[in-house]
Structure 1
């Protein structure tokens, strides 16, 4: 049986964010193995939907040749998934999301109207229920946007 949250998985994503200066996400299978890793590539790809979470979900679905991920799959992210990413989790039928940081610690990022991931998942539960673990390992990542302007 899988145990979420997993410190080793989140630590690997946090280290990648600190080293490579991008938000990271990963899709984890029912055996707690990383299926795919995505990073934010919005600017490089000129694609406003190329968030880390969406990229990880796309890669996992392509690898498995499916548009619905199997039971037991979870999404880990170094930042709270936005409404786009939370909706992608619902539509891809992920069992859950674990995220580390949230918009309270966005540093110099511009202010934006933020709809909480939890709210999107609550509203999407009639399509597919996605569990949520918030602010896991927050202390290891919360200063990122202050230190990387």
Structure 2
């Protein structure tokens, strides 16, 4: 399955809308002094789970938006396999989150901004489409990327 990027794929209206919800969650994270990342897991038109980063609030390095969303959706549906879903996330997943996405069998991932320092969906490596693994995801990048990048820039500028 080839890597699909914003330069090779038109972004659907649904992708724009769901990423908008993920961006709202990222703004909530920023307002609570968390790194502004939001995630929404959707099956069809139904939101299975959503979350924003909570690493500070939870004092837990694993409380990334993607992991919290995956955990919640798995509990709600009573299955660790999150088949027929799309994960929308405002920042390219890190190694930990990419691993969880692969293990939970999420078939489609849409992310906004690339993460050149930690991104594992194409920036540093592409764990989500690694041919040696037993599961690979359709991958779409760049949906509302500038909005997400601006949230991140503003957040980190406040810290300096």
What TM-score comes out, normalization by structure 1 length?
Answer: 0.82
Deviations 1:10-36 (A, max 9, x none): 11221232344131101111x232110
Structure 1 CA distance, aligned partners of 2:94 and 2:138?
15
- How far 1:5 moved relative to its partner? 5.7
4+ residue runs over 4 A deviation: none
Hey, what does 1:117 align to over in structure 2? 121
What's the secondary structure of 2:143's corresponding residue? coil
Aligned residue pair count: 137
Tell whether the 8 Å contact from 1:93 to 1:128 is kept in structure 2 after alignment: yes
CA gap 1:45/1:86 in 2 versus in 1, 3 angstroms: same
Hey, what does 2:7 align to over in structure 1? none
Alignment of 1:27-106 (within 5 A): 27-29=41-43, 31-70=44-83, 72-104=84-116
Unpaired runs of at least 5, structure 1: 105-112
Structure 2 CA distance, aligned partners of 1:115 and 1:81?
6
CA RMSD between the two structures:
2.0
Structure 1 CA distance, aligned partners of 2:120 and 2:48?
26
- Residue 140 in 1 paired to residue 140 in 2? no
Tell whether the 8 Å contact from 1:82 to 1:115 is kept in structure 2 after alignment: yes
Hey, what does 2:3 align to over in structure 1? none
Alignment counterpart, residue 27 of structure 2, candidates 18, 22, 35:
18
What's the secondary structure of 1:117's corresponding residue? coil
Unpaired runs of at least 5, structure 2: 1-11, 31-35
Structure 2 CA distance, aligned partners of 1:83 and 1:143?
23
What TM-score comes out, normalization by structure 2 length?
Answer: 0.77
Structure 2 CA distance, aligned partners of 1:52 and 1:121?
17
Hey, what does 2:137 align to over in structure 1? 130
